[in-house]
Structure 1
Amino acid sequence: MRARNIIVIPKMEDGDKFLIIQPHPDDAELFAGGFVALMRERKKEVVYVTVTDGAMGTWDPELKPEDLIRIRRREAEEAASVLGVSRLIFLGYPDADSLSHKELRKVFIRLIREERPDGLLLPDPWLPYEAHSGHVVVGLAGAEAVLFSPLPHFEPKGVTHQLSFVAFYATHRPNTFVDVTSLWEKKLEAIKKHESQFSPQLFQKLSLYLGLRSKEWGEGKGMEKAEAFKVLTPSHLHANVDTLEC
């Protein structure tokens, strides 16, 4: 046995309740839509937390940010509905502004303690070349919330909660692959609801990329299409020299 194998990586599908934190209203569908649909198919609870209002996500100079906020919220609700998710929490932070790490950590700790999920899904803040600070800050603040939510003196005060795992999506070092073959078309249907983000031409290219990538992740694992995650326990998130290789 190697030292890094002493702490066992949990099987994320064994959880009963999941909190999925996304920086923008389409991230969950893009990176974990198949997993979400699979969990809802198994009657497990999924709660979306959308951090920003998505107001900057357009190439159209005629589309006003306040109108886009309403459009993207509607699209997010419709996409979540396709996957079977009915509980959505919108935090409403301004899109592309500098997010406060400390403030987000506090909000995430509160949500973890209130919702008491088995697992938390987050964007991987250590993805190389990630230029969007929103993804990095949300991922880091979320990871700290996982680490600190069991500690009673971390704000906000409340009944502490220990998560079983955190799963980072949009990751380059996955250690967990979920078979989403049977739900692939549903994932694409949900992504397609984000019409403000994906023109028909862009959606065609995106769906081709996602399909090829999912096939590559599934190769050699008996999966036609897979989604990939870096799943860790809270113990992996502090001073653990083996985490990169887990």
Structure 2
Amino acid sequence: MGDFTDVPDRTAPQSLLVVAAHPDDIEFCVSGTVMQWISHGARVTYCIVTDGGAGGYDATLPRQAMTHLRRAEQVHSAKLSGVQDVRFLGYPDGAVEPSAALRRDLCRVIRQVRPQRAVIPSPEINWQRVADLHPDHRAVGDAALRAVYPEARNPFAHPQLLRDEGLTPWAVPELWLMTGPSPNQYVDVTAVFDRKVDALRLHTSQTAHFDDLAGLLRGWLAEHARAGGLPPGRLAEAFQIVDTA
């Protein structure tokens, strides 16, 4: 059983970076926790790796239009959660690899933001939930993990970042992995559940077809809460915390 943590008992980071593969991943997985950290003073940056062009359910919508739509949805959803800084790397949806180019781009964001904590997808397979098996999630998790350790803190990794852009190394002291098979931290998000649902609904291209989006989310978060030993009726988001200091 994992540890139950109510957010006020865990100090919110001064600076937080959340890395995700697609627009809407954050709202599905971690936005409730982020909202609560923001309420305790965290400065948050979202970094979305892909253009989201392979998503959606409307076959009549051109793919190029989908990428613009999903970017707009993510920006508006982030604002509802209290996040103003949203960065898009624009990699093709469905074709992500943990390449040197992606790791360099993530190192750039890390050195710019200089976060005290980073939330990233787990690079491990979670066989318990099919939605977590998307290969983009694991590829982004792999690249982000390598960017955090060892590359962003190494002055000799991606030397052009320091030489040409003046971005000095930065060591992220703590990672929170989402969608992984081995969570060890559960954050109660019951108080912000309705806002979390509203933020996810703004991803209309991805969620309009759900008959009961709130019910779907409630079921997932209730499972996390039970696994974390929370009282009945509570809802939680799940993470694996990794100390990288």
TM-score higher than 0.5 = yes
Cα distance change on mapping 1:147 and 1:223 into 2, 3 Å: farther
State the distance in 1 between where 2:126 and 2:237 align: 19
TM-score, length-scaled by structure 2: 0.84
| Corresponding position of 1:234 | 244
User: What are the residue-to-residue correspondences of 1:120-199 with 2, within 5 Å?
Assistant: 120-129=118-127, 131-148=133-150, 149-155=152-158, 156-157=161-162, 158-198=167-207, 199=209
Greater mean alpha carbon deviation, residues 63-72 or residues 95-104: 95-104
| Corresponding position of 2:99 | 101
State the distance in 2 between where 1:122 and 1:132 align: 14
| Corresponding position of 2:33 | 35
State the distance in 1 between where 2:133 and 2:193 align: 28
| Corresponding position of 1:47 | 45
State the distance in 1 between where 2:71 and 2:30 align: 18
Q: Return structure 1 stretches of 4+ with deviation > 6 angstroms.
A: none
**Matched AA of 2:20:** Q
Cα distance change on mapping 1:48 and 1:213 into 2, 3 Å: same
- Report the CA distance between 1:98 and its aligned residue: 4.0
TM-score, length-scaled by structure 1: 0.84
Cα distance change on mapping 1:134 and 1:49 into 2, 3 Å: same
Specify every segment of 5 or more residues in structure 1 that has no aligned partner in the other structure, as ranges.
Answer: 1-10, 236-246
State the distance in 1 between where 2:10 and 2:146 align: 19
- Report the CA distance between 1:222 and its aligned residue: 8.7
State the distance in 1 between where 2:218 and 2:193 align: 12
- Report the CA distance between 1:223 and its aligned residue: 8.3
- Report the CA distance between 1:67 and its aligned residue: 1.1
State the distance in 1 between where 2:196 and 2:214 align: 14
Deviation string for 1:222-244 (max 9, x for gaps)?
98222110110126xxxxxxxxx
Q: How many residues align?
A: 225
| Corresponding position of 2:216 | 206
Q: Is the 8 A contact 1:217 1:225 kept in 2?
A: no
Deviation string for 1:189-228 (max 9, x for gaps)?
1111111111241625522433432432443479822211
Identity, % of aligned positions: 28
Specify every segment of 5 or more residues in structure 2 that has no aligned partner in the other structure, as ranges.
Answer: 1-8
State the distance in 2 between where 1:55 and 1:161 align: 32
Cα root mean square deviation, aligned:
2.1
State the distance in 1 between where 2:135 and 2:99 align: 11
Cα distance change on mapping 1:71 and 1:163 into 2, 3 Å: same
- Report the CA distance between 1:123 and its aligned residue: 0.6
State the distance in 1 between where 2:155 and 2:82 align: 34
- Report the CA distance between 1:79 and its aligned residue: 1.1
